[in-house]
Structure 1
Amino acid sequence: MEEERQLTRWEGYVDWRRRPALRGRHGGMLAASFVLVVEILENLAYLANASNLVLYLSEYMHFSPTKSANNVTNFMGTAFLLGLVGGFLSDAFFTTYHIYLISAVIEFLGLVVLTVQARSPSLKPSACGPANLDIPCQEANGGKAAMLFLGLYLVALGVGGIKGSLPAHGAEQFDEDTPQGRKQRSTFFNYFVFCLSCGGLIAVTLVVWIEDNKGWVWGFGISTISILLSIPIFLAGSSTYRNKIPCGSPLTTIIKVLAAATLNSCVSRSPKGCISRSPSNAVASMATSPSSPTLASKEAEENAKTRESTDAPTESFKFLNIAAVDNPVHKALECTMQQVEDVKIVLKLFPIFACTIMLNCCLAQLSTFSVQQAATMDTKLGSLKVPPASLPIFPVTFIMILAPVYDHLIIPFARKVTKSEMGITHLQRIGIGLVLSIIAMATAALVEIKRKRVATNSGLLDSDHPLPITFFWIAFQYLFLGSADLFTLAGLLEFFFTEAPSSMRSLATSFSWASLAMGYYLSSIIVSIVNNVTGISKHRPWLSGSNLNHFQLERFYWLMCVLSALNFLNYLLWAIRYKYRSTGANN
């Protein structure tokens, strides 16, 4: 007890028993290290199935290739979009600590359902195909399909909750009021992406191999054990965590401010000579109002002056300032200037968020056309033949190499050159990722030109036979896209967490995952538009043909390169105008 009296409290934070968190006892890199270990296991459990799921749906559930691909896209997109739900609940009602535990249990239950179905032949469609010519193939339906999608979307719900809470929980462990705390938080985000990639590396190599050679029961079983093991490891750090106290629904605040600004503005513009409701004269009008005698007291005047000085409205989004008036249209729409400023901050984050969707659209090519390119090439590595589902090993490996190099070499050097605490700001880091994505798409186009030239020269343009060119050429576009992913994802996570109001940080951090989901959806939309436009007047669409050699894939990559360049120019306009609210980012 005497020791607790000597330790100062973390204002706004509690420990896992909801007692006040104490400086020197809670938080710090030790607490965050538990989060990093858990992220390895969590991403292993997710990617072990997501990277190879299309094979399970087509070969074991007998869905068509198109339906299998759509189901995988829907599953992955939903999982990342549900990160917004996890972030919202962490800010509004629960701590990130509790949301992770609840989400991990939900994902575990989903994986148990999938494991049981994979193990029991009676819960899957009957075997068919070349080895079972007497049995026609029939896709999973009825109760079998219901069980499959129940398991998948329980996993998606759990993954969404984890993605929306775990990064914010780790970042909450550091003191943002000190330069050392801010540097440690930046290091945490770098190594969070490193650990995410580490889990992905194990998933796309070891677990994918086990699924292909030992069966999906083993694959689902490993994922189930992995997410189950993450729970006691996370709980082991309970005594070291500091947990932010939920501050109420951030969405309610946003909706209330927008509604109040709209309705109050309508009243202030009324032709009946109503008193103006602008924040600049709200305090004065109430102080002199004869119908408010209590405000005439000295204490009320002092409170009004204090509120006026501390809640001075900013110039950005001036139309929202009218939401903070002393006599709103309805009492339920009463807003403080702090709430108005918080909403302004969130609105300023949206253009940056939108500009990263195109980069994630480029990243989607790693699991689609890039894999198909490599599948037509020589994938042998000595005597080992690399399966297509394991090709993401390239960007994952690059990220794992680059993350510590960036944190221990590049950032210290940048700090010396720029004489600033950050070295490279969040927006500069995101911008570097966007530039790398442009280079990646240009590289992909050049590699495709070379691949098709080899196919033509070797007489294999109309053949499905592997081309006499090593798949290591694909590694170049993976290198640039993997590097872009590190710079942008880590930069986005830290940017959203640092810049968002403290009451909305988990929700804002989950925007990073929502951007990834929208990138996947945008990729499908662009492919459809390209085929529809280029297929006019009986021309063959760019992305169609009897095999990949007949595709005009290099043209598609050049188009993505141009779109990425235009997106980068748009990003520059917003990034140059953006003003950081955090101390560390400005230094």
Structure 2
Amino acid sequence: MRSTEIEREVINEILFENGEYDNYRGRIADSSKHGGVRAASFACAVEVLENVVFLSNAINFVAYFIKSMHYPAAEAANMVTNFMGTSFLLTIVGGFISDSFFTRFRTFIFSCTVELMGLILLAVQAQYSELQPAMNKRPSEYQAAVLYVGLYAMAAGIGGIKAALPAHGADQLDRRNQRLISAFFNWYFFSLCTGGLIACTFMVWIQENKGWKMNFNISIGILSLALCIFAAGFPIYRYKRPGGSPIARMCKVFVAAIRSRNSLTPETETRMQISSARTIRWKFRFLNKALMDEKITATEVQETKTFLGLLPIFASTIMMNCCLAQLQTFTVEQGIMMGRTMKNFTIPTQSLTVFPLIIMLASIPLYERFARIVGTKQSWISNWLRPLKRIGVGLALASASMAAAAVVEAKRREEEVSKGAAISVFWLAWQYLLLGVADVLALGGMLEFFYSGAPDSMRSISTALSWCSTAMGYFISSVLVTIANSISEKFRKKWLPGHDLNHGRLDLFYTLLCALNFLNLLNYIFWAKRYQVE
């Protein structure tokens, strides 16, 4: 193959549009009729309802597992973190399916139906006493099986929804307009926070005053409504054609590169040079040798390099989510033991997340307004609006939140053990506030970064990395709880005992998380600088 032919092949690959879209009839989508801001807004509206269901159940599960299913506090905390972790980890599966085999629309419809079935099963268990354990007894094998089937059916559905919905919404917009894509993910996060606010107020009140049965029944109704609203937009959506398995293509590139590692010809060297001119140079240059295989295209090599380049950033964000896991577990247990009465009203501990949510909801429109003004100007301010910088600030705030949490827990324990007095639950506002702002910066930045930086054929999987980071954080949280208890028990006593935090040292556990997050921040700075500079 002559050099000019090779150049023509590469140019054709560059000009080829992988992301062709269809309308609901399977024909090529008309940009004047399909997609656009109106179609993308359906994803934001549905996210409000979906997150009401997800978050309201997530923050209530600890109390439900302890009070109704009679699990110990530490075990209940791990059950919740495992559920949350599995839900987010399965986004990789959902992303793979929607990128490879089904449209994101169909993936959402199927996943939402699965989550709905899981919710119905949990509602049935909450309705009938024979499916619940007797007082002060653990669930039987049958009762536990019903609980876990319902719980992890929900997790499977959530995984598919979280992977497909944001990518489907962003697909409705012109990807060449980066400001529009950034705005979509900011408003998508606004919708997520709005759902969280409803969950932490109205849904928590329902659970506290009307019980688990009503909570599950309302959740079923809300999720059914979300499914109907999403399906109603099908005539105006545009649908990304599945492009086959991107994982299989990456494996082909790796195999070809390994086979060709010791051989090189002038023609393949020219082909490699042309290809490397349009890829990020520092990334995985050995993969260029895959181009010695005539069946491997430059696009496939670039796709593999680009996806692998995202992984160090992904890995550097995991530790922050260990901190977020505490808001659904030990922070709830802290709040139960603190002063929650204000006049004649008892504040539900779960509702403390209202404070950071309100700040996040107010900050997103202000941020959008600010970004419109300075986003087009080259300045140090616009530089800090970029996703990688926002993620870094979020990681720093997560470390600060754990330092504040350790101080507050030490004060709470000292007052209750030595004086028998309960300090105000509003002391927890510090860790809620810092973690809330950290989440809006980090998760919002991650969604935008992984979608925009992903290969065209892997946008669902790449967006799922944001949620997968959360999953790994929840799993690592469970592992750290087990390790901390095992090591601390050998010296004197467990840091995190079963039912009473006053007999443990939760403050030391928070201190450990603070130290680990600071080290992780340094690791993130190294990879972020390398990604930007090289």
TM-score in terms of structure 2 length: 0.89
Q: Assess if the C-alpha contact under 8 Å between 1:10 and 1:20 holds in 2.
A: no
SS of residue paired to 1:246: coil
Q: Which residue of 1 aligns with 2:187?
A: 191
Aligned length: 516
Between the aligned partners of 1:558 and 1:146, the Cα distance in structure 2 is: 36
Q: Assess if the C-alpha contact under 8 Å between 2:98 and 2:107 holds in 1.
A: yes
**Is residue 51 of structure 1 aligned with residue 18 of structure 2?**
no
SS of residue paired to 2:260: helix
Q: Assess if the C-alpha contact under 8 Å between 1:186 and 1:494 holds in 2.
A: yes
Between the aligned partners of 1:26 and 1:347, the Cα distance in structure 2 is: 33
Q: Assess if the C-alpha contact under 8 Å between 1:106 and 1:154 holds in 2.
A: yes
**Is residue 260 of structure 1 aligned with residue 220 of structure 2?**
no
Q: How far did residue 76 of structure 1 move?
A: 1.7
Q: How far did residue 435 of structure 1 move?
A: 1.3
Query: Which residue type is aligned with residue 306 of structure 2?
Result: I
**Is residue 77 of structure 1 aligned with residue 38 of structure 2?**
no
Between the aligned partners of 1:63 and 1:533, the Cα distance in structure 2 is: 23
Among 268, 275, 291, which residue is 1:324 paired with?
291
Q: Which residue of 1 aligns with 2:450?
A: 496
Q: Assess if the C-alpha contact under 8 Å between 1:415 and 1:422 holds in 2.
A: no
Distance 1:120 1:528, change over 3 A: closer
Distance 1:493 1:545, change over 3 A: closer
Choose 511-520 or 389-398, whichever is displaced more.
389-398
Equivalent residues in 2 for 1:315-354, closer than 5 Å: 315=281, 316-326=283-293, 334-354=295-315
Distance 1:92 1:395, change over 3 A: same
Distance 1:121 1:489, change over 3 A: same
Q: Which residue of 1 aligns with 2:135?
A: 128
**Is residue 576 of structure 1 aligned with residue 509 of structure 2?**
no
Q: Which residue of 2 aligns with 1:174?
A: 173
Equivalent residues in 2 for 1:216-227, closer than 5 Å: 216-227=212-223
Between the aligned partners of 2:105 and 2:183, the Cα distance in structure 1 is: 21
Distance 1:437 1:70, change over 3 A: closer
Choose 247-256 or 403-412, whichever is displaced more.
403-412
Among 339, 342, 346, which residue is 1:378 paired with?
339
Distance 1:243 1:518, change over 3 A: same
Between the aligned partners of 2:380 and 2:507, the Cα distance in structure 1 is: 43
Q: Which residue of 1 aligns with 2:510?
A: 557
**Deviation string, structure 1 residues 190-237 (Cα, Å, up to 9, x no partner):** 121121121122223222222232232211111111111112211222
Distance 1:414 1:100, change over 3 A: same
Q: How far did residue 175 of structure 1 move?
A: 0.8
Distance 1:547 1:63, change over 3 A: closer
Between the aligned partners of 1:126 and 1:552, the Cα distance in structure 2 is: 31
**Deviation string, structure 1 residues 389-438 (Cα, Å, up to 9, x no partner):** 33333333332222222222366346546289776111011111111112
Between the aligned partners of 1:546 and 1:61, the Cα distance in structure 2 is: 14
**Is residue 61 of structure 1 aligned with residue 69 of structure 2?**
yes
Query: Which protein has the bigger helix share?
Result: 2
Query: Which residue type is aligned with residue 76 of structure 1?
Result: M
Q: Which residue of 1 aligns with 2:362?
A: 401
Q: How far did residue 351 of structure 1 move?
A: 0.6
Between the aligned partners of 1:425 and 1:533, the Cα distance in structure 2 is: 41
**Is residue 26 of structure 1 aligned with residue 37 of structure 2?**
no
Between the aligned partners of 1:439 and 1:61, the Cα distance in structure 2 is: 35
Among 227, 233, 237, which residue is 1:237 paired with?
233
Q: How far did residue 339 of structure 1 move?
A: 0.7
SS of residue paired to 2:21: strand
SS of residue paired to 2:20: strand
Q: How far did residue 283 of structure 1 move?
A: 7.3
**Is residue 119 of structure 1 aligned with residue 127 of structure 2?**
yes
TM-score in terms of structure 1 length: 0.81
**Deviation string, structure 1 residues 496-555 (Cα, Å, up to 9, x no partner):** 00001000010000011111011011112223333333444x433444498434433333
| Identity across matched positions, percent | 44
Q: Assess if the C-alpha contact under 8 Å between 1:367 and 1:392 holds in 2.
A: no
Equivalent residues in 2 for 1:115-514, closer than 5 Å: 115-122=123-130, 124-125=131-132, 127-128=134-135, 137-142=137-142, 144-177=143-176, 181-265=177-261, 268=262, 276-277=263-264, 281-282=267-268, 309=274, 312=277, 314=279, 315=281, 316-326=283-293, 334-409=295-370, 412-413=373-374, 415-416=376-377, 418=379, 424-455=385-416, 459-460=419-420, 467=422, 469-514=423-468
Between the aligned partners of 1:501 and 1:214, the Cα distance in structure 2 is: 48
How large is the Cα RMSD of the aligned pairs? Answer: 2.7
Q: Assess if the C-alpha contact under 8 Å between 1:542 and 1:553 holds in 2.
A: yes
Q: Assess if the C-alpha contact under 8 Å between 2:374 and 2:381 holds in 1.
A: no
The structure with higher relative contact order (CA 8 Å, sep 6+) is: 2
Q: Which residue of 1 aligns with 2:103?
A: 95
SS of residue paired to 2:292: coil
Q: Assess if the C-alpha contact under 8 Å between 1:10 and 1:23 holds in 2.
A: no
Q: Which runs of 5+ in 1 are unaligned?
A: 1-8, 130-136, 269-275, 285-304, 328-333, 461-465, 582-587
